[in-house]
Amino acid sequence: MGDINKLLQIMEKLRHPEDGCPWDREQTFTTIAPYTIEESYEVADAIHRNDIQELKYELGDLLFQVVFHSQMASELDHFTFNDVVAAVCEKMERRHPHVFSDAKVESAEAQTKAWEEIKAQERKQKGKDELKNKGSHQTESILDGISMRMPALTRAVKLQKRAANVGFDWPDHVGVIEKVKEELDEVIQEIENNHFENLNREIGDLLFVIANLARRFNVDPESAVTSTNAKFEKRFRVIEQELNRLNKDFAQTDLKEMDDLWNKAKEEHF
């Protein structure tokens, strides 16, 4: 049986100033953060591939990241792993009053609404505390607390949800679709006018509103693009395999032939 205390001891040993691993000893929150993000993606990838055994190992790697950060924090007298566990336990109980107290909810939808209300109250209080500590006169925002390190499309959806909670949203999907068309027209116009320096902004606007359209229909845009990436990769590999079978390479193949092979892969495989 796995023992979290053993894992904590392993991490402490790795960070020991004399007997530990040289690489582990020199790490900081900043240097480890990219690995934490990477492990999160690998967890998501195992889930996407429905590889349950791999998921077990990837979750272990992600847990190790939590232990790593906790150990570094403990060394600096900030907090310990037990403090992390206590904080999340307190948070889960506070956000589920219908389970851990006498509050009642009628449906999953009602619970989601209650959850968002509790989180909004937490953000508001956190914002007040931070402003008080900093001595700032800046007012808190409902958009506070959305990590800048999130994937851009995921962050776009988070921003849109927060704004929608206070009524800043189209009343239905029709308005969103019209906005998609409008933003696409603006991209096309910039291209036709050779204003390529504006494309970063205009394509960003287009992607933002497409993320909004995805949100409207409960489609996670990151997952959607991930699925499309996988589909593209499979079909392109079929093209490579077909060219290899014909003893040809891409230099010997024009776009029409590649497109024909692409459509063949689309019809026969996926």
Assign a CATH topology to domain 152-219.
Helix Hairpins (1.10.287)
CATH 1.10.287.1080 fits 4-134, yes or no: yes
Q: What is the pLDDT along the chain (270 residues), one digit of tens a residue?
A: 678 999 999 999 999 999 999 999 999 999 999 899 899 989 988 998 899 999 999 999 999 999 999 999 999 999 999 999 999 999 999 888 888 877 777 766 666 666 667 666 766 666 555 555 655 556 678 888 888 888 899 999 999 999 998 899 999 999 999 999 999 999 999 999 999 999 999 999 999 999 999 999 999 998 899 889 989 999 999 999 999 999 999 999 999 999 999 998 888 766
- Of the candidates 122, 114, 76, the residue with the CA atom closest to the CA atom of residue 97: 114
Q: What are residue 244's phi and psi, to 5 degrees?
A: -65, -40
pTM recorded for the entire structure: 0.63
